[in-house]
Chains A and B, each alone.
Chain A
Amino acid sequence: MVLIKTQRDTLLAPLQSVSGIVEKRHTLPILSNVLLEKKGENLTLLATDIEIQITTSTSGAAGDGDGAVTVGARKLQDILRSLPDSAEVSLILEEKRLQVRAGKSRFSLQTLPADDFPRMTVTENDLKKFTVTQKQFRQLLAQTQYSMAAQDVRYYLNGLLLLVDGSELRAVATDGHRLAYASMPLEAELPRQELILPRKTVLELNRLLADNDEPLSIEMSPNQIRFQFGHIVLVSKLIDGKFPDYERVIPATLKNIVSLNRAALLQSMVRAAILTNEKFRGVRLVLSDGSLKIMAANAEQEEALEEIEVDYHGDTLDVGFNVGYLLDVLNNTSVENIEWGFNDANSSALLTVPGNDRFKYVVMPMRI
């Protein structure tokens, strides 16, 4: 039976939307598969790793009838991607096999029954719902997600805190060494609720959200979150844990503040970073009257020195930082100037954007 007959891209685009979360290796073989479900003209694709589930649909899929099957997501994607752009593709459902045909190419793929495909039960009650634009939310993630921990034993740091409070939405990420905070206004007025999005969910959203003003609807329950945008529905479990109190580490008072040109600072840091110790990546910053020196040295005693003129007339500061943490914030903000506030060489630095209190970046120094 010809399940689907359509243009390559009609199939490939939705497949790429869902296949990002498919794990390469999993104890459950069916999780390497994508579920294809056809009803009339409508084709639904679904992938899951048990923690996250992404569904998308496309219309205009011709074929002989309705049917559902699961097939290896990556193999199908690789096949479609390597076919010519304009190819017309048929998916033919045979007994226990799915045949992919395009021009003179034939592929016969093994399948697993659609009924066996695990689906997340989606909570429908006790949902708190609000809508933002895709672009707004994507920016909120982009400003913070690079500070998430990756494989920390403090599992609640391997994710991003999302906090709704009144008419404000905040995102916070930290790996224990630095912390990024961003907020945005909401049109709705909601009771305070906080939750931790798993790292993988954050990275996937960042990949899937568009840079436009189309709506993104977010529905939160105590242990699940659902994002709907475009044709995509992404459901994710949440990290069950207590995120640290981020307000405690944002310095309330600062002795000195210096304004720096972001691009100039970034370029100097990139150069100095070449000669940092590969393991620790420490740079030494010496701030004195009118000048900021950036120094680096590696294990082979090779040295780098960068100097930037600054409008600064306060105390001299000699402090070490992991250059990676500074590059992260400089790369992920797109402003002209950045303000660096500090107290001393042993306490955290606060990086902010002048005239914008919706973004804060706190970073602890290194002892060098």
Chain B
Amino acid sequence: MPPSAPRRIAHLDMDAFFASVELLQYPELRGQPVVVGGRGTPPPERRPDGSLACARLRDYVGRGVVTTSTYEARALGVFSAMGIMKSAQLAPDAVLLPANFDAYRHYSRLFKAAVAGIAPHIEDRGIDEIYIDLGEVPGETRAIAQAIKDAVRAATGLSCSIAVAPNKLLAKIGSDLEKPDGLTVLGIDDVATRIWPLPARKINGIGPKANDKLARLGIRTIGELAGAAPEFLVAHFGRSSGEWLWRVARGIDERPVETSSEPRSVSRETTFERDLHARQDKAQLTEIFTWLCLRVADDLTRKGYASRTIGIKLRFDDFQTVTRDLTLPAPTADGAAIRRAAGECLRRVPLERRIRLLGVRAGALCPLQEVAAETAMRQQELRFDEPA
């Protein structure tokens, strides 16, 4: 890429996506602090007079976490991933709604289709965010970004924040700068003025651990990171991470927008409302475990993949996390086969502590059609389960 032609990469992030979708259904809640989350939260009920009876944060008992909160709730200090009971101390009267993932997936498809109508070169980053390569799209940058925002609003009734920058790194940081309903255009010249004052953790890839470590080294902002010597960063973070930190602090990122993302794995996990014991809560654990396996099988089938490696994840009450996996002789998308393999993995974990989280993962994916071709010539199984 010659320096004269910087790339035009957009990052689009839906504003408070789950909460905003809920507000489409319950418009009377607009302007109030609303929180989505908590398994088992009852859905709102319409009273005979047409008004809405909703659960409030203060009524919640359990270990659920906030999935999304509206900007009104964020103003009270309630953010994603916060325990709901903790958030109730900050905003006891905030409305609590159960998550409705089918609706979110529906709106996710709608907004992505709307964007694709304008700029088809899209990298899917999850249910509520995408990268878009605007390289092939004719027109002035800000006008294209506005057209995309308008198209998203027309298709869904929802607002989004978008930033256009020379790369994914800056676009991702940029879309957060003017939220909600933001439109930001960043050039490499803006790095010193707009990016360097930001805290280091705003960089996608600097998580809480790296951020703490940087803070201990006296580095709090991206600008301070850019001021650090590369040898210093390599000495503390290793070669590859150290060099990466040095580059990103300067706004350098060469990653392409990847349009066809083949999934690497499919997984499902759940945190229990209370920690479960392997023996005392065996029936419940078994049921949840089987359900997770069936959901993974379902996800695989829907996406058109079979998996060769089935794994499990457990987190105990002391937050120790263990994983085990097993490679199968042949790829499968069958719930019973996944359950069997996952059960085998579980046998290899000593279950002395109470279990907080259980997850099932299917990796080493290959397209179902290929598997079907292979199994056309299939060895049949002895039928031990049928009556003689």
Query: Is B388 touching A348 in the complex (CB atoms < 8 A)?
Result: no
A247 at interface by CB-CB < 8 Å? yes
> Which B residue sits closest to A251, measured CB to CB?
B388
| Given the contacts A153-B340, A248-B387, A252-B388, A346 and B380 also touching, CB distance less than 8 Å | yes
Query: Is B326 touching A153 in the complex (CB atoms < 8 A)?
Result: yes
Choose one: A155, A244, A249, A322; the contact of B379 (CB below 8 Å). Answer: A322
Query: Is A282 touching B377 in the complex (CB atoms < 8 A)?
Result: yes
- List B contacts of A153 (CB < 8 A): 326, 328, 340-341, 344
> Which A residue sits closest to B384, measured CB to CB?
A244
Query: Is A249 touching B340 in the complex (CB atoms < 8 A)?
Result: no
Query: Is A248 touching B384 in the complex (CB atoms < 8 A)?
Result: yes
Q: Mark B137-164 against chain A: 1 for CB-CB distance below 8 A, else 0.
A: 0000000000000000000000000000
Q: How large is the interface on A (under 10, 10 to 19, 20 to 34, 35 or more residues)?
A: 20 to 34
Query: Is B380 touching A367 in the complex (CB atoms < 8 A)?
Result: yes
Stretch at the interface among A3-11, A131-139, A175-183, A223-231: A175-183
- List B contacts of A280 (CB < 8 A): 377, 379
B381 at interface by CB-CB < 8 Å? yes
Query: Is A368 touching B377 in the complex (CB atoms < 8 A)?
Result: yes
- List A contacts of B381 (CB < 8 A): 176-177, 364
Interface set, chain A 244-274, CB cutoff 8 A to B: 244-250, 252
Query: Is B388 touching A248 in the complex (CB atoms < 8 A)?
Result: yes
Query: Is B382 touching A364 in the complex (CB atoms < 8 A)?
Result: yes
- List A contacts of B387 (CB < 8 A): 248
Q: Closest CB-CB distance, B351 to chain A, in whole Å?
A: 16
Query: Is A178 touching B382 in the complex (CB atoms < 8 A)?
Result: yes
| Given the contacts A153-B328, A366-B377, A367-B378, A249 and B341 also touching, CB distance less than 8 Å | no
Report Cα–Cα, A70/B383, bound state, in Å: 48
Query: Is A348 touching B382 in the complex (CB atoms < 8 A)?
Result: yes
Interface set, chain B 322-368, CB cutoff 8 A to A: 326, 328, 340-341, 344, 347
Report Cα–Cα, A247/B382, bound state, in Å: 11
Query: Is A366 touching B382 in the complex (CB atoms < 8 A)?
Result: no
- List B contacts of A362 (CB < 8 A): 382
A207 at interface by CB-CB < 8 Å? no
A174 at interface by CB-CB < 8 Å? yes
> Which A residue sits closest to B382, measured CB to CB?
A249
Query: Is A245 touching B384 in the complex (CB atoms < 8 A)?
Result: yes
- List A contacts of B326 (CB < 8 A): 153
Query: Is A249 touching B377 in the complex (CB atoms < 8 A)?
Result: no
Report Cα–Cα, A188/B388, bound state, in Å: 31
A365 at interface by CB-CB < 8 Å? yes
Query: Is B341 touching A366 in the complex (CB atoms < 8 A)?
Result: no
A337 at interface by CB-CB < 8 Å? no
Interface set, chain A 275-295, CB cutoff 8 A to B: 277, 279-280, 282
A154 at interface by CB-CB < 8 Å? yes
- List B contacts of A174 (CB < 8 A): 382
B102 at interface by CB-CB < 8 Å? no
Report Cα–Cα, A246/B384, bound state, in Å: 7
Report Cα–Cα, A320/B380, bound state, in Å: 10
Q: Closest CB-CB distance, A66 to chain B, in whole Å?
A: 41
- List B contacts of A178 (CB < 8 A): 382
Report Cα–Cα, A366/B379, bound state, in Å: 4
Query: Is A176 touching B382 in the complex (CB atoms < 8 A)?
Result: yes
| Given the contacts A248-B387, A248-B388, A252-B388, A364 and B341 also touching, CB distance less than 8 Å | no
Interface set, chain A 137-191, CB cutoff 8 A to B: 153-155, 174, 176-179
Report Cα–Cα, A174/B381, bound state, in Å: 11
> Which A residue sits closest to B342, measured CB to CB?
A153
Choose one: B328, B379, B383, B388; the contact of A247 (CB below 8 Å). Answer: B388
- List B contacts of A366 (CB < 8 A): 377-380
B386 at interface by CB-CB < 8 Å? yes
- List B contacts of A364 (CB < 8 A): 379-382
Q: Closest CB-CB distance, B344 to chain A, in whole Å?
A: 5
| Given the contacts A247-B388, A248-B388, A365 and B380 also touching, CB distance less than 8 Å | yes
Choose one: A246, A248, A320, A367; the contact of B386 (CB below 8 Å). Answer: A248
Report Cα–Cα, A249/B380, bound state, in Å: 13
Q: Closest CB-CB distance, B48 to chain A, in whole Å?
A: 56
Report Cα–Cα, A206/B387, bound state, in Å: 34
Q: Closest CB-CB distance, B7 to chain A, in whole Å?
A: 45
> Which B residue sits closest to A325, measured CB to CB?
B379
Q: Closest CB-CB distance, A147 to chain B, in whole Å?
A: 11
Report Cα–Cα, A254/B378, bound state, in Å: 23
Q: Closest CB-CB distance, B266 to chain A, in whole Å?
A: 19
Q: Closest CB-CB distance, B231 to chain A, in whole Å?
A: 40
Query: Is B388 touching A177 in the complex (CB atoms < 8 A)?
Result: no
Report Cα–Cα, A140/B388, bound state, in Å: 25
- List B contacts of A322 (CB < 8 A): 379
Report Cα–Cα, A250/B386, bound state, in Å: 12
> Which A residue sits closest to B328, measured CB to CB?
A153
- List A contacts of B388 (CB < 8 A): 247-250, 252
Report Cα–Cα, A174/B384, bound state, in Å: 11
Report Cα–Cα, A79/B387, bound state, in Å: 57
Report Cα–Cα, A264/B340, bound state, in Å: 41
A-B contact pairs, 7 of them (CB 8 A): A153-B328, A153-B341, A249-B383, A249-B384, A367-B376, A367-B380, A368-B377
Q: Enumerate chain B interface residues (CB-CB to A < 8 A).
A: 326, 328, 340-341, 344, 347, 374, 376-384, 386-388
Known: A177-B380, A348-B382, A366-B380. 15 other contacts (CB 8 A): A153-B344, A174-B382, A176-B381, A176-B382, A177-B382, A179-B382, A246-B384, A248-B383, A249-B382, A279-B374, A280-B377, A366-B377, A366-B378, A367-B378, A368-B377
Q: Which 5 A-B pairs have the closest CB atoms?
A: A244-B384, A364-B380, A248-B388, A249-B382, A153-B344
